[in-house]
């Protein structure tokens, strides 16, 4: 990867334009400053002047590049005071949530422009309420196509003075089947108007709309080789059939994300998964199209405010939502459409932050789909080993230890020390007391089959081996260069565990498919052993063998620092 891929909104603006260069009023400058925007993104630097000059605009850039401000700022700027009380700007958005989000940003931009009326209309909210709001003659109306149509039919929305119409996330609106509604509205608005179209992707359908309804549009395209924001780490988990739920729980416990979104392909799956997670003691809220509007709003609000840390959603419900700091996007189902993948993982890594996506797949068909996806995004997903039970427990123990240290640091322990003192009077030693408390803490967590066999790990290894064969076309196992660089691995078993060289060869060859002749220089000491393996294989050997049992002992495997020179 090259250096320039560390994208953030500011660095996208290559000519170093600042907002002050864009001829915007002091009121909006102040508002933009309040919002913490320092420099305009590329689409803003190019889009704002074009819209201000009165031209029609096509803005083509991926999610999270600041399209809202690119049309929102000049739209507010161009409101004509002489037409006060007349609807001058109409913005169409694909979903209720997006419409509300755009409305919120528009209110922010206009907060120092006294008396700019902004009303948001969408299905699911009482139409009377909206009719009343529209009676107050807002200059800006934002809404979903269906509800806008509804108000036009009822004549509660009048567009005779419309100066500007904006199609936001046009591709999504078309995907959702709003083409007829959009065209009806476009035909109904005055022909002397500005038409702006913003979209993350362009399709022949969109081009047809721009051809029929825009006049000599300025095309602003933010080109980037990668579709996916490059500051997102993308991990792939190849999961044994029937263990997806278990693996999901392991991943949640292992990564312990502060804020995550889990995507499923259907509403039914969203509900099922939330139910299952709840049964296992996790709390996750849901977001999908069958939910009542107020419930969706409540969930969004809680998620934004951090009262909920896990949100399970369908693609449509989560489209384009601008939620800050989503650390992890988990694809519980592989998306049916590659564009969906881009949108999903675009929920993390917003505005230049880093993020991680975890994609769960099962079976050859999905494995092949991921290959297609990689070709589409021109980025690789990194095949990651499923965390072993030992690793999950380790991660959890480390977090608990950290919490304890923090609690001690924060002080105010007198009352608790009293309890400890009374226990010590009974001659229970402090170590046992502390361990007892920890056991109580652990007991409330989800229990893994403690000490049991890690069957998922075993099955994963089998799958991994067959994939490896598939890739190298070598039926005999993994191909490695016998003269390539090598490293030494240290195992936590030795003579006292009665291990022999054959145990190491058997375990490594068996678990990874590495031919035995590549496993050399086995040295067995009292309580540990060294084994030399090809460097390329070291990580996979470590991940496959750690946590497995050898002679009844759970293995720990580490690289010995120094490489072996030949
Ligand atoms: P898009 O519509 O292209 O997906 P948004 O307009 O929703 O993108 O913007 C994405 C996020 O970036 C929002 O949180 C927005 O407040 C923020 N943002 C937009 N422009 C800037 C800017 N110039 N500087 C900093 N943050 C910005
Ligand atoms: Mg947008």
pLDDT tens-digit profile of 46-74? Answer: 999 999 999 999 999 887 789 999 999 99
> CA–CA separation, 537 vs 488, rounded Å?
11
Q: Does ligand 1 have an atom closer than 6 angstroms to the CB of 63?
A: yes
Higher per-residue confidence, 56 vs 298: 56
Do 391 and 546 meet the contact criterion of CB atoms below 8 Å apart? yes
Average pLDDT over residues 150-172: 95
Residues whose CB is less than 8 angstroms from the CB of residue 53 and which lie 6 or more positions away in sequence, other chains included: none
SS3 225: coil
Q: How far is the CA of 10 from the centre of ligand 1 (A)?
A: 10
Can you state the percent helix, strand and coil of the chain, rounding each to 5? 45, 15, 35
The reported pLDDT for the residue numbered 470 is 57
Q: Which two tokens stand for residue 467?
A: 């994939």
Sheet strands side by side (includes 118-121): 118-121, 140-143, 89-92, 164-167, 194-199, 57-60, 218-221
Do 488 and 530 meet the contact criterion of CB atoms below 8 Å apart? yes
The reported pLDDT for the residue numbered 29 is 95
Do 522 and 455 meet the contact criterion of CB atoms below 8 Å apart? no
pLDDT at residue 183 is higher than 80: yes
| Distance separating the N- and C-terminal Cα atoms of the chain | 30
pLDDT at residue 179 is higher than 50: yes
Q: Does ligand 1 have an atom closer than 6 angstroms to the CB of 532?
A: no
Q: Does ligand 1 have an atom closer than 6 angstroms to the CB of 68?
A: yes
Q: Which two tokens stand for residue 64?
A: 């999270």
Q: Is the pTM of this model over 0.85?
A: no
pLDDT at residue 231 is higher than 80: no
Do 273 and 264 meet the contact criterion of CB atoms below 8 Å apart? yes
Tens digit of each residue's pLDDT (9 = 90 or more) over 489-507: 999 999 999 988 888 988 8
Identify the residue whose tokens are 């000490």: 451
- What values do phi and psi take at 261, rounded to 5? -120, 135
The reported pLDDT for the residue numbered 562 is 66
Average pLDDT over residues 324-347: 85
Identify the residue whose tokens are 């022909």: 191
- CA nearest neighbour of 252 among 311, 319, 315: 311
The reported pLDDT for the residue numbered 442 is 67
Identify the residue whose tokens are 């994939």: 467
pLDDT at residue 557 is higher than 60: yes
The rounded Cα 284 to chain-centroid distance in angstroms is 16
> CA–CA separation, 365 vs 23, rounded Å?
54
- CA nearest neighbour of 229 among 308, 341, 382: 341
Please state, for a pLDDT cut of 90, what percent of the chain lies above it: 43
The reported pLDDT for the residue numbered 4 is 32
- CA nearest neighbour of 76 among 43, 51, 93, 41: 51
The reported pLDDT for the residue numbered 514 is 80
Average pLDDT over residues 443-463: 64
pLDDT at residue 185 is higher than 70: yes
Can you spell out the DSSP letters for 286-330? EE-TTS-HHHHHHHHHHHHHTS--EEEE-HHHHTT---TT--EEE
Q: Does ligand 1 have an atom closer than 6 angstroms to the CB of 310?
A: no
pLDDT at residue 170 is higher than 60: yes
Tens digit of each residue's pLDDT (9 = 90 or more) over 402-450: 888 888 888 777 888 888 899 999 989 888 888 888 777 766 554 554 4
The reported pLDDT for the residue numbered 228 is 55
The reported pLDDT for the residue numbered 509 is 83
| Angle, CA of 179, 75 and 211, to the nearest 5° | 35
Q: Which two tokens stand for residue 41?
A: 């993104």
Average pLDDT over residues 351-361: 83
Name the residue with the closest Cα to ligand 1, atom 25.
37
Q: Does ligand 1 have an atom closer than 6 angstroms to the CB of 351?
A: yes
Ligand (nearest to CA of 67): 1
Higher per-residue confidence, 354 vs 31: 31
Torsion of CA 13, 17, 18, 21, to 10 degrees: -150
Average pLDDT over residues 118-123: 96
> CA–CA separation, 309 vs 302, rounded Å?
9
Q: How far is the CA of 70 from the centre of ligand 1 (A)?
A: 9
- CA nearest neighbour of 57 among 153, 168, 235, 198: 198
Mutate to test the pocket of ligand 1, among 66, 69, 95 (most ligand atoms within 8 A of CB): 66
The reported pLDDT for the residue numbered 306 is 84
């Amino acid at each position: 990867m090259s250096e320039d891929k560390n994208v953030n909104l500011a660095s996208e603006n290559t000519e170093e334009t600042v907002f002050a260069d864009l001829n915007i009023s002091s009121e909006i400058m102040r508002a933009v400053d309040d919002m913490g925007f320092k420099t305009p993104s590329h689409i803003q630097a190019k889009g704002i002047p074009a819209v201000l000059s009165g031209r029609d605009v096509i803005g083509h850039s991926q999610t999270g590049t600041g399209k809202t401000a690119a049309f929102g700022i000049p739209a507010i700027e161009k409101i004509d005071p002489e037409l006060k009380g007349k609807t001058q700007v109409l913005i169409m958005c694909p979903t209720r949530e997006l419409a509300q989000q755009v409305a919120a940003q528009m209110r922010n931009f206009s907060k120092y422009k006294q008396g700019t009326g902004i009303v948001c209309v969408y299905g699911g909210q009482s139409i009377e309420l909206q009719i009343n709001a529209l009676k107050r003659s807002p200059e800006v109306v934002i809404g979903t196509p269906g509800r806008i149509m509804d108000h036009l039919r009822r004549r509660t929305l009048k567009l005779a003075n419309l100066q500007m119409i904006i199609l936001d996330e046009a591709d999504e609106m078309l995907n959702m089947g709003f083409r007829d509604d959009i065209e009806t509205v476009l035909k109904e608005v005055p022909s002397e108007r500005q038409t702006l179209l913003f979209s993350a992707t362009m399709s022949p359908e969109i081009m047809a709309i721009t051809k029929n309804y825009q006049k000599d549009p300025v095309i602003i395209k933010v080109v980037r080789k990668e579709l996916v924001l490059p500051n997102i780490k993308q991990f792939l988990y190849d999961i044994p059939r029937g263990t997806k739920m278990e693996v999901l729980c392991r991943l949640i416990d292992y990564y312990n994300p502060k804020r995550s979104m889990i995507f499923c392909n259907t509403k039914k799956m969203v509900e099922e998964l939330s139910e299952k997670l709840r049964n296992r003691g996790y709390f996750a809220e849901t977001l999908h199209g069958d939910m009542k509007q107020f419930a969706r709003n409540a969930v969004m609000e809680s998620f934004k405010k951090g009262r909920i840390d896990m949100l399970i959603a369908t693609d449509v419900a989560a489209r384009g939502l601008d939620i800050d700091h989503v650390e992890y996007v988990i694809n519980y189902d592989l998306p049916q459409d590659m564009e969906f993948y881009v949108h999903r993982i675009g929920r993390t890594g917003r505005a230049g932050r880093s993020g991680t996506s975890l994609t769960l797949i099962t079976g050859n068909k999905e494995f092949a789909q991921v290959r297609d996806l990689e070709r589409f995004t021109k980025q690789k997903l990194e095949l990651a080993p499923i965390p072993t039970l030992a690793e999950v427990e380790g991660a959890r123990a480390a977090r608990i230890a950290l919490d304890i240290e923090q609690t001690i640091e924060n002080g105010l322990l007198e009352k608790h020390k009293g309890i400890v003192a009374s226990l010590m009077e009974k001659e229970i030693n402090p170590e046992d007391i502390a361990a007892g408390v920890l056991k109580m803490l652990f007991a409330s967590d989800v229990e893994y089959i403690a000490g049991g066999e890690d069957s998922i790990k075993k099955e994963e290894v089998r799958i991994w081996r067959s994939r490896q064969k598939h890739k190298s076309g070598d039926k005999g196992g993994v191909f490695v260069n016998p003269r390539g660089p090598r490293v030494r691995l240290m195992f936590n078993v030795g003579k006292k565990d009665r291990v022999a060289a054959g145990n190491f060869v058997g375990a490594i060859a068996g678990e990874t498919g590495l031919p035995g002749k590549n496993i050399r220089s086995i040295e067995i000491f009292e309580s540990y052993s060294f084994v030399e393996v090809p460097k390329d294989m070291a990580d996979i050997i470590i991940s496959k063998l750690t946590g497995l049992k050898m002679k009844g002992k759970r293995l720990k495997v580490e690289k010995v620092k120094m490489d072996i020179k030949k």
